C-alpha cells in the first residue's frame, strides 16, 4: 500500500468513480461514529437496538434509540461538512459518473448536493410499513401504535434502516457499479461490516485502483492500493481538488 502517491491514480476522464462512505465522514458534522472509543456501540448493545429480534422483543426501546438519533440529526447545529461538500462538487465537475454508496443513514450527502447516492443501510428520515411495504418520509418520533399513511393499519411502522442480519439495499446496482468503475474510494469506515467491507476486494480482484481516506487504517486497509490518513474535512476536499485538476 502506498501513502498518497496520488499521481498514479489517474482514472480515465470518462470513467465511473464509486465512493463508499461511513460514519467517519459525518463525525465532524457532529454525529457519532459506531466503533470509536466514544462511539454509539460503546453506549448501547447492537443486540438491544439494531436487530429485528430486538425490535420484536422491545419495540419501544428500539424506537426510542432511533427517535433520539433522528432528533439529533435534525438539530440546528448538524450540517454537512467540507468532505460532504467536496463529494457533491466531484459529482458536478467530474467528466465521468460518480456514485456515492453510503452506509450512513443520515441525510448529509443529500444536503450537500449529492444526487447519485445509494443508502445501502437505509435512511433515518424514512419509515417502512411492515404491512404494505410502503416507504414514508418521516421526520417525527415514531412509535409502534402509529398508523401507516398508505394502508391505514397500525403497529407496522419501523425505521427504514437495515439491521444486523438483514440484507443491505440495492446490492445489484452496487455490484454492477463496482464491476465497471475505474476508481474505488472509501471514506470514514472501519471496514468491520460486510458486505461493504468486501467492496475493496471485489475491485482489487479486477485490478481497479482503490484509495482509503480515513483517520486510521481500517480492518481492510492492506487491500487498498493507496491510502490517505487524516480528518475527512481536510483530506477529502484536497483529494477531490487533486482529481479534478488532472
Ligand atoms: N475523518 C475520517 N475518518 C474518521 C473521522 C474523521 N473525522 N472520525 C472517525 N473516523 C474513522 C474511524 O477511524 C473509523 O475507522 O471512521 C471510521 C468509523 O468506523 P465505524 O464507527 O465502524 O463506522 P462505519 O464503518 O460506518 O460502520 C459501518 O456499522 O453499526 C453499523 O450500520 C452501522 O453503517 C454502520 C456500519
pLDDT value at residue 169: 98
| pLDDT above 80 for 7 | no
Q: Give the pLDDT confidence of 132-169 residue by residue, as tens digits.
A: 999 999 999 999 999 999 999 999 999 999 999 999 99
CB 44 within 8 A of CB 66: no
Total-model pTM: 0.97
Question: 78 in the Ramachandran plot: left (φ > 0), alpha (ψ -120 to 50) or beta?
Answer: beta
Best residue for ligand 1 mutational test, from 19, 33, 49 (most atoms within 8 Å of Cβ): 33
How many angstroms does the Cα of residue 150 sit away from the middle of ligand 1?
35
**Residues sharing a CB contact under 8 Å with residue 43, sequence separation 6 or more, in sequence order:** none
Q: Which whole number is the average pLDDT over 165-174?
A: 98
Dihedral Cα 46, 48, 51, 53, nearest 10 deg: 150
Mean pLDDT (the chain, rounded):
95
Which residues form the catalytic set? Answer: 121
Q: Report pLDDT digits (tens) over 120-129.
A: 999 999 999 9
Which residue puts its alpha carbon closest to atom 34 of ligand 1? 103
Amino acid at each position: 500500500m502506498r501513502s498518497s502517491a496520488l499521481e498514479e491514480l489517474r482514472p480515465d476522464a470518462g470513467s465511473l468513480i464509486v465512493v463508499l462512505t461511513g460514519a467517519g465522514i459525518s463525525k465532524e458534522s457532529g454525529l457519532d461514529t459506531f466503533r470509536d472509543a466514544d462511539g454509539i456501540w460503546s453506549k448501547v448493545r447492537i443486540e438491544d437496538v439494531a436487530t429485528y429480534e430486538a425490535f420484536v422483543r422491545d419495540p419501544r426501546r428500539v424506537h426510542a434509540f432511533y427517535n433520539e438519533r433522528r432528533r439529533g440529526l435534525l438539530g440546528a447545529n448538524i450540517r454537512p461538512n467540507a468532505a460532504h461538500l467536496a463529494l457533491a462538487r466531484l459529482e458536478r465537475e467530474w467528466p465521468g459518473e460518480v456514485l456515492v454508496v453510503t452506509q450512513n443513514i443520515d441525510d448529509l450527502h443529500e444536503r450537500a448536493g449529492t444526487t447519485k447516492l445509494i443508502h445501502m443501510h437505509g435512511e433515518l428520515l424514512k419509515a417502512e410499513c411492515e404491512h404494505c411495504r410502503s416507504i414514508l418520509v418521516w421526520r417525527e418520533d415514531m412509535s409502534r401504535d402509529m398508523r401507516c399513511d398508505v394502508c391505514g393499519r397500525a403497529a407496522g411502522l419501523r425505521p427504514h434502516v437495515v439491521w444486523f442480519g438483514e440484507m443491505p439495499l440495492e446490492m445489484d446496482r452496487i455490484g454492477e457499479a463496482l464491476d465497471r468503475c475505474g476508481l474505488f474510494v472509501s471514506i470514514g469506515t472501519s471496514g468491520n461490516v460486510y458486505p461493504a467491507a468486501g467492496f475493496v476486494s471485489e475491485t482489487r480482484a479486477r485490478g481497479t485502483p482503490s484509495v482509503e481516506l480515513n483517520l486510521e487504517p481500517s480492518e481492510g486497509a492492506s487491500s487498498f492500493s493507496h491510502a490517505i490518513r487524516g480528518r475527512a474535512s481536510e483530506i477529502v476536499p484536497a483529494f477531490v481538488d487533486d482529481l479534478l485538476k488532472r
